[in-house]
Amino acid sequence: MIYRHPQIYRTALTLLHAEPGSALTGLQGEARRRLPTAHLLRRVAVTAVRD
């Protein structure tokens, strides 16, 4: 299954009772900041090889 960032952000925001300072709290903060503009971003993974 492929998970996309907006999907992960939305899921994180539905989870309740995140402990202060936990990874989930950090992800929820990131989701609140980035979800409004997530549709404008496209994540790309690039691999370089040398001939």
pTM of the model: 0.67
Angle subtended by helix axes 5-14 and 23-34, to nearest 10: 120
Instruction: Give the residue, 49 or 3, on which the prediction is more confident.
Output: 49
As given in the structure block, the two tokens for residue 36 are 């409004």
- What is the predicted pLDDT for the residue at 37? 83
- Alpha-carbon distances of 24 from 29, 33, 37, 38, 44, rounded to whole Å: 9, 14, 20, 19, 24
Q: What letter would DSSP give residue 18?
A: P
Q: Summarize pLDDT for 15-36 with one digit per residue, the tens.
A: 988 899 999 999 999 999 988 8
- What is the predicted pLDDT for the residue at 45? 46
Q: What letter would DSSP give residue 41?
A: -
